[in-house]
Amino acid sequence: MTKQAQKIFLFLLFWVLVLTISCKKNLEVKPSWETTMLVPILKTNLNIGNIVGDTLIQINSDSSLKLVYQSTLYSLIPGEGAFEIPDTIIKGTYNLSNLALTNQSIIYNLSLGQAAQQMGLAGGAIISSNGTMASIPAITNQSSGNNDVNATQFFQTATLAEGFLDITIDNGFPIDISNIQFQIKNKISGTIVADTFFTNIASGSTTTKTVNLSGKTVEGNLVFKIIDLDSPGSVNPVLIDTTDALHITMQVRDMVVTSATAIFPSQDIINQDQETIYNLSGGAKLKFMTVHSGKLKMTLHSAIKQLVHFNYSFPGASDQFGGSINLITDLPAAPIGGLSSLNQEYDLAGYTLDLTGLNHISYNTFVNHIEASIDSTGQLQTLSFGDSIYIDYGLVDLVPEYIEGFLGQQILTLGPEEVNFDLFKNIQSGSISLSDVNLGIDIENGVGVNVRMNLYELTAVNSKKNQSVSLSNSLINSPQILNRATDPPLTPYVLSFLLNTGNSNIKNLVEVLPDKMKYQLDLFVNPDGNISNYTDFAYYNSPLNVNLNVSMPLSLQASGLVFQDTVDFDLSNASSKGLDAIKDGVFTVYADNGYPLQANLQLYLYDEWGGFLDSLIVAPHTIYAAPLNSNCKVLEPLRSTLQVQADANKMNRIRNAKKAIVRAVFDTKSSAPCGVYTNIYSSYNLLIKLTGRFTYLVGQ
């Protein structure tokens, strides 16, 4: 190949390589370009409702607006502590003061033969004459030996608080007895239980004497002994039968023991009514109460070493069906050296309580009936007066649904205290001046008592600005009488006062844009005493309210008055390629202002967690006031347009925004012919629309 041909070949090879490399590179690089698109972003309508809420606005016949607002300055609700029923717990100790033993009888027979055996020769003659007619000589100073009397089948020992021993002698001897003296002693201790005598007991006759056993201890093993037996004998012969006898009956009756080891009969050991009296504040005297909530609580302790049947009833309490409270339960036998216990609780909600006592002539008094009893076990038990039942019972956490009686005299001092006043709660800042304000104070007495009220202070407080204005009116420091409500049907008494610009400084109070109201007052319940003769009443939800009723036309001057709304803001719909595809853009705000008020507009952007991202508008921009016609009304809204450039840096900050706060700050721009106050009408609003024209980077 020639040199010339080689040069041509190398030249062609160079370009082939260049073209090959170039084509390969072009195949690997994707094409890219920029495009723009107009996208709607948000829309909101700002109106007076954003400040005071739609529910507070009334539309007059000429379409002008009136602002109405009611706030409760003070509310006395009987069921929430206005009339308190204190917890009353009664601690009772019930001794076995009525512990009784069964009446018992023991018969001792002394035959003529037994007596003759102790009479020496004369006695031998009587015995030898058995079955014959013979005279019996006089008997003097005869006695018997000790005769055991076994009463252990009834008791082993008993110390008696009360009791009697009836001794009856039936003279079965054929001769009269002129005198007989005998003695009964405890066999173990030797103490005398009874020492008595009888005189002139004719043959065939019966006589009885009673011995008081109070304070004595009687053992189950006794000793009976005749100390002295005297008889005139018989002058004429009589039929001698040595089996003829003196029948001596010893009956122990009406025994109430302080302690005993005995076989106790089934018996009531407690059976009594108990009156519990409440001491209520102000000298209140209640007759009836229906319970809204509350409990009857009872704790029982028994020191009795035997099962006790317990019955508690609350006869003055009845539910809606007429049923009463009756607790029937058993208290286990107390362990040695300890107590058995039981807790019981009743829900009294819905019950009506009669508080007039046992005889229905008392007040604040409820009646309890308590019974306790034991069964006869047939076995010896040791019980004593010191064995007691301890009962703690009473009404706790009692809240009345209805009370009736005399509710007492008391002065309730209330305040100084502040309560929230929400009329202007959505106003962020700024000030207003109103053409007119009316404020009504309605005092509503839903309680069945007369009340005297003194209002000492009513102050409007703007805590944000640390400003306050106090009411100046004749109502301050002027006692007002509130008559009682009537029932049935429940009809509250209402006393009303109207405060306006002519009789007070109420306009100044409202223009401070208060978020709180401060008050101080007192209420004197039943200032004239019990003039209702125990017919006062109160329901749980029949309050005594002090209400403020504000009414004012929306005719105002505004300075820096803020309208604000929170709306959704989401750019994800602006790009099908994702938010990262948005490079930059221009936002356009269209503001159609239907208010004759000039406004500065701002939009603040936040992420989904409420974190601040950026303000869309770098500086507030003016939205011009809509013009007024000859009737001082806006016919057509005035459009203002704002454009905001969002470069790549700004777009990076706001592309993830989820919420926007649209904020408009208004100032009055009234023309002179229409006066200094601007009337607000129902047709007025500020419509804000936001669009965006974005640049997208596509295909990279």
pLDDT at 546: 93
Of all residues in the chain, what percent carry a pLDDT higher than 70? 92
Beta bridge mates, 538:
403
Closest residue by Cα to residue 110 from 255, 201, 245: 245
Q: What is the pLDDT of residues 142-168, one digit of tens each?
A: 887 788 888 887 788 988 889 999 999
Q: What is the pLDDT of residues 253-306, one digit of tens each?
A: 988 888 888 888 888 888 888 888 888 888 999 999 999 999 999 999 998 888
How much is the average pLDDT of 418-429? Answer: 82
158 in Cβ contact with 264 (< 8 Å): no
Q: What is the pLDDT of residues 201-257, one digit of tens each?
A: 999 999 999 999 999 999 989 998 888 889 998 988 999 999 999 998 989 898 888
The overall longest dimension of the chain from CA atoms, in Å, is: 204
Contacts of residue 502, Cβ cutoff 8 Å, sequence gap at least 6: none
Closest residue by Cα to residue 601 from 590, 610, 612, 585: 590
Band of the pLDDT at 182, cuts 50, 70, 90? confident
**Is it the case that residue 484 has pLDDT exceeding 80?**
yes
pLDDT at 311: 93
CATH number of the domain located at residue range(s) 67-77+425-553 in this protein: 2.60.120
Q: What is the pLDDT of residues 359-371, one digit of tens each?
A: 999 999 989 899 9
Query: Cβ atoms within 10 A of the Cβ of 402, count?
Result: 18
Domain boundaries, the chain: 42-64+557-698, 67-77+425-553, 88-92+276-406, 100-262
Beta bridge mates, 394:
89, 297
Which CATH number does the domain 100-262 belong to among 2.30.30, 2.60.40, 2.60.120, 3.30.70?
A: 2.60.120
307 in Cβ contact with 330 (< 8 Å): yes
How much is the average pLDDT of 391-420? Answer: 92
Please report the sign of the dihedral spanned by the C-alpha atoms of residue 522, residue 527, residue 531, residue 534.
Answer: positive
pLDDT at 67: 83
Q: Is-same-fold flag (67-77+425-553; 100-262)?
A: yes
Backbone angles phi, psi at 96, to 5 degrees: -85, 55
Q: What is the pLDDT of residues 586-629, one digit of tens each?
A: 999 999 999 988 889 889 999 989 999 999 887 778 899 999 88
Token readout for 374 is: 């034991």
pLDDT at 697: 73
pLDDT at 449: 96
Band of the pLDDT at 14, cuts 50, 70, 90? very low
pTM above 0.75, yes or no: no
Residue 299's alpha-carbon distances to 216, 222, 331, 385, in angstroms, are 35, 43, 11, 21
Band of the pLDDT at 30, cuts 50, 70, 90? very low
Full strand arrangement of the beta sheet holding 267-277: 267-277, 365-374, 308-314, 325-331
